[in-house]
Amino acid sequence: MTAPFIPPRRTLMGPGPSDVPQRVLDAMARPTIGHLDPAFVELMEQIKSMLRMAFQTRNALTFPVSAPGSAGMEMCFVNLVEPGDTVIVCRNGVFGGRMLENVKRARGVPVVVDDAWGAPVDPDKVRDALRAHPGAKALAFVHAETSTGAQSDAATLARIAQEHGALSIMDCVTSLAGTPVRLDDWGIDAAYSGSQKCLSCTPGLSPVSFSSRAVERIQARTTPVQSWFLDLNLVLGYWQSAGKRTYHHTAPVNPMYGLHEALVMLEEEGLENAWARHRAMHEKLKTGLEGMGLQYVVDEAAHLPQLNSIHVPEGVDEAAVRARLLNEFNLEIGAGLGDMAGRIWRIGLMGHSARQENINHCLQALEACLR
């Protein structure tokens, strides 16, 4: 007979998931109820309200997609991009590349603005691309590029999009609740995130938010959305209906309990306090890493506090170090992706993982492996 699965207890300091507080795990163990139960409907309303706080928005259409951040990304593109639409796509890492793939699969016409991996998106290049393509329908960019640890100037990029009549689509999977995200102040039209990073919840949910301009674009479509499950015209009846909700899918009830508890904890801490904590922990980790002679991939002005990418020292087997950290110290850090595979480590300070005791453990373990 197969024994129950008992996972090892790890300290999660990779690019996600992050450590999950016991309060969130306990919340997920509460009794399951139906996804149309009036009590669950009330939970949905509370989650929407708290997500608006996290996104700093008044957008009515703000809710968690019942799937991971990649589905939130796809929801934005399949709803806002019609065949033949020109979309400016900023690519400065892996996840800008995934945006590009989504535009292609929605049969849009992508115009790629490339920047070096580890560099933020260059607003001047974006401005030039929009001038060269005056009919562009949208600008897509990654606020916090998880593959490199670079943070781009979302406010400036969104403003440039507005100046040229284009909608803005922003990936804030790694930034939401860890570094300032202000959808309304910046004028972002569509944003997607993930539950497993700075929100300190388990993987599997993708908070999204759409502006009234984005909703108008969706409602004015002349072609059907290519995905049934992610079609917002259908999802609206479940998440935004003021009265009786229409059945769309069976929502993941218990993970929603966890997200609700994580958002309650964010409210208790205070959003700006959470941003400040991530910044303070980043500075402490940075001091320790640089004290060991390790160098950051990203210039300091573009450092993403919750995702620290560092060069692997010459002559060091990066995979062997990660394996030893995991097996001897129960510590997970991330490897490089794409062009940076084998060349960098990615150390996460996200949500509940952004604590002094985690930093101490990480620095001590890493020093032991490199000694």
For 155-170, what is each residue's pLDDT tens digit? 999 999 999 999 999 9
Q: Same domain for 53 and 165? A: yes
Q: What is the pLDDT of residue 236?
A: 79
The pairs formed by 244-249 with CB atoms below 8 angstroms and a separation of 24 or more are 245/36, 245/41, 247/36, 249/66
Q: Same domain for 191 and 95? A: yes
What whole-number distance in Å separates Cα of residue 70 and Cα of residue 64? 12
Of the residues 217, 242, 266, which one is the last residue of a structural domain?
266
Domain membership of residue 340 (yes or no) is yes
Q: How confident is the model over 300-313, as pLDDT tens digits?
A: 999 999 999 999 99
Q: Same domain for 86 and 168? A: yes
Spell out a b/e string for 134-170, using b for 16 or more CB atoms within 10 Å of the CB, else e.
eebbbbbbbbbbbbbbbbbbbeebbebbbebebbbbb
| Domain of 259, in residue numbers | 23-266
Q: How many residues does the chain have?
A: 371
pLDDT, mean of residues 71-87? 98
Angle, vertex CA 313, rays to CA 309 and CA 314, nearest 5? 135
Q: Same domain for 60 and 170? A: yes
pLDDT, mean of residues 220-245? 84
- Chain-centroid distance of CA 158 in Å reads 17
Q: How confident is the model over 144-153, as pLDDT tens digits?
A: 999 999 999 9
Q: Whose structure tokens read 């919750």?
A: 306
Domain membership of residue 242 (yes or no) is yes
Domain membership of residue 2 (yes or no) is no
Tokens linked to 158:
């969104």
Q: What is the pLDDT of residue 243?
A: 61
Q: Same domain for 245 and 276? A: no
Number of domains in the chain: 2
Q: What is the mean pLDDT of the chain?
A: 96
The pTM score is: 0.96
pLDDT, mean of residues 6-26? 97
Domain membership of residue 336 (yes or no) is yes
Q: Same domain for 260 and 279? A: no
